[in-house]
Amino acid sequence: MRTIARYELKEGENRVTVPDLSVIVCATDLGEKVCVWMEIDAEAKEFVDMAFLVIREGAEIEEEMVLNYVGYARLISGEVVIVFEIL
Protein backbone atom coordinates (compact mmCIF):
# COMPACT_ATOMS: atom_id res chain seq x y z
CA MET A 1 0.00 0.00 0.00
CA ARG A 2 1.43 3.37 -1.05
CA THR A 3 0.95 6.28 1.33
CA ILE A 4 2.48 9.66 2.25
CA ALA A 5 4.70 9.91 5.32
CA ARG A 6 6.30 12.88 7.07
CA TYR A 7 9.83 12.85 8.46
CA GLU A 8 11.05 15.69 10.67
CA LEU A 9 14.52 17.08 10.03
CA LYS A 10 16.86 19.23 12.11
CA GLU A 11 19.39 21.78 10.97
CA GLY A 12 22.55 20.18 9.58
CA GLU A 13 22.98 16.65 8.25
CA ASN A 14 20.17 14.15 8.85
CA ARG A 15 19.80 10.41 8.27
CA VAL A 16 16.29 9.06 7.87
CA THR A 17 15.39 5.37 7.59
CA VAL A 18 12.62 4.88 5.04
CA PRO A 19 11.06 1.96 3.18
CA ASP A 20 13.04 0.96 0.07
CA LEU A 21 11.96 2.73 -3.15
CA SER A 22 10.48 5.72 -1.29
CA VAL A 23 10.04 8.87 -3.36
CA ILE A 24 10.56 12.42 -2.09
CA VAL A 25 7.46 14.55 -2.60
CA CYS A 26 8.61 17.86 -1.08
CA ALA A 27 10.11 19.57 1.93
CA THR A 28 8.30 22.28 3.83
CA ASP A 29 7.70 23.82 7.21
CA LEU A 30 5.27 22.68 9.86
CA GLY A 31 5.32 25.44 12.44
CA GLU A 32 8.92 25.61 13.62
CA LYS A 33 9.70 22.13 12.29
CA VAL A 34 11.25 21.26 8.95
CA CYS A 35 9.74 18.19 7.30
CA VAL A 36 10.32 16.10 4.22
CA TRP A 37 7.24 14.37 2.84
CA MET A 38 7.70 11.07 1.04
CA GLU A 39 5.59 8.57 -0.86
CA ILE A 40 6.33 5.21 0.76
CA ASP A 41 5.26 1.59 0.63
CA ALA A 42 3.71 1.09 4.07
CA GLU A 43 4.09 -2.68 3.74
CA ALA A 44 7.75 -2.66 2.69
CA LYS A 45 10.03 -5.22 4.26
CA GLU A 46 13.31 -3.56 3.25
CA PHE A 47 14.52 -0.18 4.46
CA VAL A 48 17.27 2.22 3.41
CA ASP A 49 18.87 5.29 4.95
CA MET A 50 18.50 8.58 3.12
CA ALA A 51 20.63 11.61 3.93
CA PHE A 52 19.42 15.21 3.97
CA LEU A 53 21.09 18.55 4.58
CA VAL A 54 19.12 21.43 6.13
CA ILE A 55 20.92 24.78 5.99
CA ARG A 56 20.05 28.38 6.66
CA GLU A 57 19.72 30.82 3.82
CA GLY A 58 23.19 32.15 2.97
CA ALA A 59 25.11 29.31 4.65
CA GLU A 60 28.15 27.86 2.90
CA ILE A 61 28.02 24.34 1.46
CA GLU A 62 31.07 22.06 1.46
CA GLU A 63 32.27 21.88 -2.15
CA GLU A 64 32.63 18.08 -2.21
CA MET A 65 28.98 17.50 -1.26
CA VAL A 66 26.72 16.28 -4.08
CA LEU A 67 23.24 17.63 -3.40
CA ASN A 68 19.77 17.50 -4.91
CA TYR A 69 17.45 20.40 -4.03
CA VAL A 70 14.26 19.20 -2.31
CA GLY A 71 12.62 22.40 -1.09
CA TYR A 72 12.65 25.11 1.52
CA ALA A 73 10.86 25.96 4.73
CA ARG A 74 9.93 29.39 6.07
CA LEU A 75 9.68 29.02 9.81
CA ILE A 76 7.31 30.96 12.06
CA SER A 77 10.28 33.12 13.07
CA GLY A 78 10.60 34.22 9.42
CA GLU A 79 13.87 32.35 8.98
CA VAL A 80 14.30 30.38 5.74
CA VAL A 81 16.08 27.02 5.57
CA ILE A 82 16.87 25.03 2.44
CA VAL A 83 16.55 21.22 2.25
CA PHE A 84 18.78 19.06 0.05
CA GLU A 85 19.07 15.32 -0.39
CA ILE A 86 22.71 14.28 -0.01
CA LEU A 87 23.56 11.95 -2.90
Query: What's the rounded mean pLDDT across residues 78-86?
Result: 93
- Read off the pLDDT band of 77 (50, 70, 90): confident
pTM value is 0.89
Q: Assess whether pLDDT exceeds 90 at residue 22.
A: yes
Residues near 52 by beta carbon (within 8 Å), at least 6 away in sequence? 9, 13, 14, 16, 27, 36, 70, 83, 84, 85, 86
Q: List residues bridging with 50 in a β-sheet.
A: 16
